C-alpha cells in the first residue's frame, strides 16, 4: 500500500475523554479540490467514531464494510477491526483500496490498514495522513505538558499545528467527542 500523502486525522484518549478530528482539505494532485470534506463521523449508535485518510470513495467503502463487521460482531470494536483488516488484505477488490482508518469508542482506539495491521498506538494518540506525524507529536507534547487540556482541545491544537506545516492539511477542522 502506498503511503497516504494527504490530510490529517488525529484521535486521542485523555483523562476519560475521547476525541477524533480531521482537517477538511481534499486535493487532486497538487491542487486543492475542496476545503470542507467531512473525514470523521459517528457510526453504530453514535458510540463509535471513524476517521479516514486517502481516497474518499475507497474510505467510504471501507467504513461501510467496518459497519457491517460491527453489526456482525455486536459492536466489538477490536474484533470488527481485525476482521475488516483480514478481508482488506485478502479480498481482491478490497486489496486495491487506498485509505487508512482510525476507529474509536470509549474504551480504545485503533488504526486499520490494508496491509492487515490493526494498531493500538501508545499513549492513546492515533494519527494518520500526511500531517499525522506533526499532529501526533503536538498531541504527545500537549498531553504530557498540559494535562489539564481536554481531549478535544488537544486534537484541535494538534490539527492546527499540522495545518501550519503540512501543505495537504488545512485549518477547516471537524472534531467529534464521545
Reply yes or no on whether 31 is catalytic: no
Q: For the chain, give the number of residues.
A: 178
53 near 23, Cβ under 8 Å?
Answer: no
At 154-166, the pLDDT tens digits run: 999 999 999 999 9
- Indicate the CATH number for domain 8-171: 3.60.20.10
Task: For the chain, give every domain's residue range.
Answer: 8-171
For 59, other C-beta atoms within 10 Å of its C-beta total 22
DSSP sequence for the chain: -PPP-S-EEEEEEETTEEEEEE---EEETTEEEES----EEEETTTTEEEEEEE-HHHHHHHHHHHHHHHHHTTT-HHHHHHHHHHHHHH-HHHHT--EEEEEE-SS-EEEE-TTS-EE--GGGEEEEETTHHHHHHHHHHHHHH-TTS-HHHHHHHHHHHHHHH-TT--S--EEEE-
Q: What is the pTM of this model?
A: 0.94
pLDDT digits (tens, 9 = 90+) for 5-35: 679 999 999 999 999 999 999 888 888 989 9
Return the half-sphere exposure (C-beta side, CA atoms, 13 A cut-off) of residue 66: 31
* pLDDT value of position 118: 96
Q: What is the pLDDT of residue 1?
A: 42
Which residues have CB under 8 Å from 95's CB, separation 6+? 88, 89, 114
pLDDT at 116: 85
Find out whether 173 and 25 touch, Cβ atoms under 8 Å.
no
How do the pLDDT tens digits run along the chain, 178 residues long? 445 567 999 999 999 999 999 999 988 888 898 999 999 999 989 999 999 998 888 889 999 999 999 999 999 999 999 999 999 888 888 888 888 999 999 999 999 988 889 999 989 999 999 999 999 999 999 999 999 999 999 999 999 999 999 999 999 999 999 9
Residues whose CB is less than 8 angstroms from the CB of residue 107 and which lie 6 or more positions away in sequence, other chains included: 77
State residue 20's pLDDT score.
98
Amino acid at each position: 500500500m502506498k503511503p497516504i500523502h494527504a490530510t490529517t486525522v488525529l484521535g486521542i484518549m485523555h483523562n476519560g475523554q475521547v476525541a477524533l478530528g480531521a482537517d477538511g482539505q481534499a486535493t487532486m494532485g497538487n491542487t486543492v479540490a475542496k476545503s470542507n470534506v467531512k473525514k470523521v463521523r459517528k457510526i453504530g449508535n453514535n458510540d463509535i467514531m471513524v476517521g479516514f485518510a486517502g481516497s474518499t470513495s475507497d474510505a467510504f467503502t471501507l467504513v461501510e464494510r467496518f459497519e457491517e463487521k460491527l453489526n456482525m460482531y455486536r459492536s466489538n470494536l477490536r474484533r470488527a477491526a481485525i476482521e475488516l483488516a483480514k478481508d482488506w488484505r485478502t479480498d481482491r477488490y478490497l486489496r486495491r483500496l487506498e485509505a487508512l482508518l482510525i476507529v474509536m469508542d470509549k474504551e480504545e482506539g485503533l488504526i486499520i490498514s490494508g496491509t492487515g495491521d490493526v494498531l493500538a498506538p501508545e499513549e492513546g494518540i492515533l494519527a494518520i495522513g500526511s500531517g499525522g506525524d506533526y499532529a501526533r507529536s503536538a498531541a504527545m507534547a500537549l498531553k504530557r505538558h498540559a494535562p489539564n487540556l481536554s481531549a478535544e482541545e488537544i486534537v484541535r491544537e494538534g490539527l492546527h499545528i499540522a495545518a501550519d506545516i503540512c501543505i495537504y492539511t488545512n485549518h477547516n477542522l471537524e472534531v467529534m467527542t464521545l
